[in-house]
Amino acid sequence: MSSAMTRLLEEKKIVICGGSGGVGKTTAAASIALLWATMGRKVMVITIDPARRLADALGLEAIQTKPTLVEPEILEDAGLEPKGRFSAMMLEAKSAWDELITSYSPSEEVAAKILANSFYQSLSDTFAGSHEYLALEKLHELYHSGDYDALVVDTPPTKHALDFLEAPHRMNEFLDRRVTRWLVMPYLSAGRKGLKLFNRTGGYLFRKLEEATGIRVIKDVSEFFFHFSQLTEGSRQRMTKVFELLKGPETAFLLITTPELAVLSEAAYFMKKVGDYGVPFAGVLANRVHQIRFPEASDEEIQIHLKEAGCPPPLDKVLLENYRRSQHLALGDESRLTRFGELLPSDVFLTKVPLFPQGLEDIKGLAWVVNELRRH
Ligand SMILES: Nc1ncnc2c1ncn2[C@@H]1O[C@H](COP(=O)(O)OP(=O)(O)OP(=O)(O)O)[C@@H](O)[C@H]1O
Ligand SMILES: [Mg+2]
C-alpha cells in the first residue's frame, strides 16, 4: 500500500518531527519509525520525554538513554510485521551532556574536571536549547555509526518550535560570545604550566571579585570555560556537519500540527521559517482530526438506528447530541485544514491522523497510527 508518508520514507534516511507543544510530535515520531521498520529498514527513533506508558511499551524505562532494540515480538503482538529493525532511545539532557563531555574530551582528566564542575552541573540541567543541541549531536553520531539506515528525530516541547533549528547557531554563538572568551582568555594565556601561578595571581582577582559581588561561582565558571574550550572546536565542526545533514536530500522535515486555529497559524509561521533555514520541508501531519461520519444521516435515521440497537431514551437523545457536536467539530477541522492545505507548496503533502478515542500511549495505539499513515 502506498501513501504520501510511505513514498517519503522510501526516499529518505532522516525524518525530523517538529511542531508546537503537545500536538503529537513524540507519538508521530514513534509511529513513523514503526512504519519504517515494517518497510524493512533498520530504524532508530530518538524520542524526547515520551509519556511514561509509551516509554514502558518500548522498553525504554530501564535502559534510559541507551539505544534499545525493541523485540520484534512486541511489534508482532501489536499486529505489525517487523521486516526491519526497530530501536528507540530517549534523550535525557543531563546524562546526554555527560556522555558528550566524556566522549569528546581530549583526556579522561579533562572530562572528570568538567563533570565535577559545579557550574557545569547547573548548566547541563538548565541550558536553554540544550535538548535540541543534544538531539542534533545524537543524530550526527547515530547517522555516522552505520548501525541504522533510517533515523527519526522527535523534537522537544518548546514554547517556540523553531528552537530546534536555531540550536546549532545558538550554541556556536554562545561559544563565540565575548564574555565566554573573556572568561577563558586568562586561563588560555596562563597556559597549562602557568595555571598554578594564575590561580595564585588571577585567583586573587577572582577572590576580590567574589568578595565584592558575593558571587562564588566565578572561578568555577571560568574553569569550566577553559576545559570546555578544548571541546568546542570539534563541536563547531560537528554542528556544521549536522546542519549540512539537515539540509541534505536524505532528510525530510515533517510538521506536526492539530487542526485548531491557533496551532495552525503557528504552523504556517513555522513552515516559512523552516524554508528560510534551507531544511527540506516534506509534509504536514495534521493530528487528532475529528472524523466526519455518516454525513448524509438525518436525526430521524440515527434515532431509528439507536432504537434498533436497543438504546433506551433518554440515552438516545444524549448520543445524538454528542454525535452532532462531534460532526460540528469535524466540519470545522475539515474547513480549516482545507484552507491550510491551500497554502502549501505543491510538493508538500498534508496527511491526517484522526483523533483516537483514548490516549495513544501504548504500542497498539501506535500501530493504529501506523495503519492510518499507510492508508492516506
Ligand atoms: N491521534 C491522536 N488521538 C488521540 N490522542 C493522541 C493522538 N496523538 C497523540 N495523542 C495523545 O496526545 C498527547 C500528546 O502527544 P505527544 O506526547 O505525542 O505530543 P508532543 O507534541 O510530543 O508533546 P510535547 O510537546 O509535550 O513533547 C499524548 O497523551 C498522546 O497519547
Ligand atoms: Mg514530546
* 96-127 per-position pLDDT tens digit: 778 877 877 778 888 888 888 877 777 665 55
Q: Which of 27, 256, 260 to probe ligand 1 with, by most ligand atoms within 8 A of CB?
A: 27
Cα(190)–Cα(197) distance, integer angstroms: 8
| Closest ligand 1 atom number to CA of residue 30 | 18
Residue 369, all three cell numbers: 497510527
- Tell me the CATH number for domain 4-164+237-295+335-375: 3.40.50.300
Residue 110: the pLDDT is 82
Amino acid at 86: F
Identify the nearest ligand to the CA of 351 by its number.
1
Q: Which of 360, 361, 369 to probe ligand 1 with, by most ligand atoms within 8 A of CB?
A: 360
Amino acid at 165: L
Whether 155 contacts 194, CB under 8 Å: no
Identify the nearest ligand to the CA of 19 by its number.
1
Interval between CA 27 and ligand 2 midpoint (Å): 7
Ligand 1 shell residues, CB under 6 Å: 21-27, 49, 51, 157, 287-288, 353, 355-356, 359-361
| Domain range annotation of the chain | 4-164+237-295+335-375
Residue 86: the pLDDT is 94
Residue 220: the pLDDT is 65
pTM for the model stands at 0.82
Q: What is the mean pLDDT of the chain?
A: 81
Residue 169: the pLDDT is 66
Residue 42: the pLDDT is 97
Strand-pairing partners, residue 154, are 17
Cα(117)–Cα(134) distance, integer angstroms: 19
Under-50 pLDDT residues of the chain: 63, 187-188, 190-195, 197-198, 200-201
Residue 105: the pLDDT is 78
Residue 57, all three cell numbers: 511499551
Local structure of residue 65 (DSSP, 8 states): T
Interval between CA 48 and ligand 2 midpoint (Å): 6
